[in-house]
Amino acid sequence: MFAVGLYDLVQPRHSVLRNYPVLGHLRYLMEALRPELQQYFIERDYDGRPYDRSRRSIIYERAKGVHAEQAFGTERDIDEVGYEYLAQSVAPVPLPDTPPRVLVGGPDCTQPYSMALLNVSAMSFGALSANAIRALNKGAALGGFAHDTGEGGLTPYHLENGGDLVWEIGSGYFGARTADGHFDPQQFADKAAHPHVKCLSLKLSQGAKPGLGGVLPAPKVSAEIARYRGVPAGVKCVSPAYHSVFTTPRELIRFIARMRELADGKPTGFKLCVGTRTDILAICKAMLDEGTAPDFIIVDGAEGGTAAAPLEYEDHVGVPLTDGLMTVHNALVGTGLRDRIKLGASGKVAGATDVVKRLIQGADYTTPRAP
Ligand SMILES: Cc1cc2nc3c(=O)[nH]c(=O)nc-3n(C[C@H](O)[C@H](O)[C@H](O)COP(=O)(O)O)c2cc1C
């Protein structure tokens, strides 16, 4: 027992065993028993399909370099409700030497960005701690993907580790706002010029709370959060449900073009959870009328993500990702704009099959919460 304890303390491979030896051993015992326990872990997922936690954990374990293959083969029954599958080709091709990437940047963009297919979705400083932001950004730097700042401002924690950034602003224009809450072009241009900032994103809405803004309660607005957002400390911090810089589709498209100009031609786009088809068609029409367009659109599914939002919004407002993605893709194809705009997809993307499924439905890349 003493020898095991000593070994746990000095071994460098498993920090769980080093810090919590007893619980750590229990965990590894449970993992060893997993195949037998698997049947107890069947739950329903958000689409009502049987959802197998042990399989999802296998995906996460890949990140640790273990369980690349599973010894037990397919366990889904062909008659299962909602059974989904991907179609393989009769003529497989060799794997590419480098992971595929997609070039984001339409004709009005002068600094196109080569985007990975799997990136970190928008999560702000304030919602996440400094260390979480550092970790996500370091992951982005190591993995060669992009890290979206979320709407809580561009902070030094986003910039420390050198990962590529998509800087997002929302209706509060945090980090680029005047004292009375309006968009400040000079601050925006100064920060957008940072070499780690590769793309600029305007948040229109978010899957978990479409049609609502956001609130950071007063006690959570620390001096540091307040500084990076450009708001008073200790006072409730609100992102309104609506933007003050535009009210019509044409004004939205003009504002995107202005953001891109201020960012010296870096790719600029917007993120939304689709509401109605009419909205999307009106925005496409505005692009045609204005003769310019965003370089990307990120579609967030209504099923996506956590948010401080009323339950009714979380559960019943907004279009789910499959329908939202196909609505935007089809609208862009129909209006002849699809070639110049890349589509990102966000919402319950966790494993490789989720990525492929979204690419098939029209996305060019995905932005899961935790790649
Ligand atoms: C802690 C947290 C903070 C978030 N902050 C933002 C944000 O600032 N801006 C934004 O556009 N989306 C935000 N989101 C939503 C995510 O970017 C993303 O759309 C959503 O989480 C995707 O669904 P998933 O969580 O199922 O992957 C946040 C999500 C979480 C979990």
pLDDT in tens, 227-272: 999 999 999 988 899 999 999 999 999 999 999 999 999 999 999 9
Q: What are the pLDDT digits (tens) for 82-93?
A: 677 888 899 999
* Pocket perturbation via mutation, ligand 1, pick of 204, 243, 297, 369 by most ligand atoms within 8 A of CB: 369
Per-residue pLDDT, 267: 98
Q: Cβ–Cβ contacts within 10 Å for residue 37, how many?
A: 12
The Cα 319–Cα 358 span in angstroms is: 15
Does residue 78 belong to any structural domain of this protein? no
Q: Do 138 and 212 fall within a single domain?
A: yes
- Quick check: is 79 in a domain? no
Q: What span, in angstroms and rounded, lies between the C-alpha atoms of 191 and 37?
A: 51
Looking up residue 263, the CATH number of its domain turns out to be 3.20.20.70
Tell me, yes or no, whether 227 and 306 share the same domain.
yes
With CA atoms as reference, report the closest residue to 104 among 331, 349, 340, 360: 340
Q: Is residue 90 domain-resident?
A: no
E strand or H helix at 102, and its extent?
Answer: strand 101-104
Which residue's CA is the nearest one to ligand 1's atom 3? 123
In this model, does residue 336 exceed pLDDT 80? yes
- pLDDT, residue 31, reads 74
Determine the Cα–Cα distance for residues 217 and 234; give it in Å rounded to an integer: 8
pLDDT band at 14 (very low <50, low <70, confident <90, very high): confident
- Residues 39, 143, single domain; the answer is no
Same domain, 44 and 149: no
Ligand 1 atom at minimal distance to the Cα of residue 304: 23
Alpha-carbon gap, residue 343 to 274, rounded angstroms = 13
- Ligand 1 atom 6 nearest Cα: 123
In a domain, 86, yes or no: no
How many A from CA of 166 to the centre of ligand 1? 14
pLDDT value at residue 28: 81
77 to each of 39, 83, 85, 162, 357, how far by Cα in Å? 14, 8, 11, 45, 19
Domain count, the chain: 2
Residue 11 shares a structural domain with residue 148? no
Residues 165 and 249 reside in one and the same domain = yes
Q: Crossing angle of helices 249-262/277-290, nearest 10°?
A: 60
Cβ atoms within 10 A of the Cβ of 359, count? 17
- Cβ < 6 A, ligand 1 pocket: 121-124, 127-128, 150-152, 168, 203, 206-207, 271, 300, 304-306, 346-349, 368-369
Q: Are residues 17 and 126 in the same domain?
A: no
Q: Answer whether residue 5 is part of any domain.
A: yes
Strand extents, DSSP E, 233-328: 237-239, 268-272, 296-300
Give the least confident one: 49-63, 94-108, 142-156, 163-177: 49-63
What number does the ligand 1 atom closest to the CA of 298 have? Answer: 19
Structural domain including 58 reads 1-64
Side-chain half-sphere CA neighbours of 285 within 13 A: 8
| pLDDT of residue 53 exceeding 70 | no
Among residues 17, 44, 64, which one ends one of the domains? 64
Of 64, 83, 114, at which residue does a domain stop?
64
The arithmetic mean of pLDDT across residues 131-142, rounded, is 96
Q: Which of 46, 47, 158, 206 to mutate to test the pocket of ligand 1 (most atoms within 8 A of CB)?
A: 206
What is the pairing mode between strands 146-148 and 237-239? unpaired
Cross-strand partners of 96: none
Q: What is the CB-side half-sphere exposure of residue 295 using CA atoms within 13 A?
A: 29
pLDDT, residue 66, reads 60
Angle at 145 (CA atoms; ends 141, 151), nearest 5 degrees: 95
Does 121 share its domain with 32? no
Asked if the structure places residue 58 within a domain, the reply is yes
Q: Between 215 and 54, where is the model more confident?
A: 215
Neighbours of 159 (CB within 10 A): 19
Distance from the alpha carbon of residue 305 to the mean position of ligand 1, in angstroms: 5
Tell whether 283 and 346 lie within a shared domain: yes
- The pLDDT of 63-81, averaged and rounded, is 55
* 172-208 b/e (C-beta count within 10 Å ≥ 16 → b): bbbbbbeeebebbeebbeebbeeebbbbbbbbbbbbb
Query: Does residue 346 sit within a domain?
Result: yes
Band of the pLDDT at 100, cuts 50, 70, 90? very high
| pTM for the whole structure | 0.83
Percent of all residues in the chain with a pLDDT value above 70, rounded to a whole number: 85
**Closest atom of ligand 1 to CA, residue 368:** 27
Buried b (16+ CB within 10 A) or exposed e, 76-108: eeeeeeeeeeeeeeeeeeeeeeeeebbebbbeb
Is 293 a member of any domain? yes
Q: Say how many Å lie between the CA of residue 89 and the centre of ligand 1.
A: 34
- What distance in Å separates the CA atoms of residue 25 and residue 9, rounded to the nearest whole number? 13
Provide CB contacts within 8 A for 323, sequence distance 6+.
Answer: 274
Residues 221 and 128 in one domain: yes
Of 121, 154, 203, which is best to mutate to test ligand 1, by the most ligand atoms within 8 angstroms of its C-beta? 121
Are 245 and 319 in the same domain?
yes
Question: Do both 108 and 199 map to the same domain?
Answer: yes
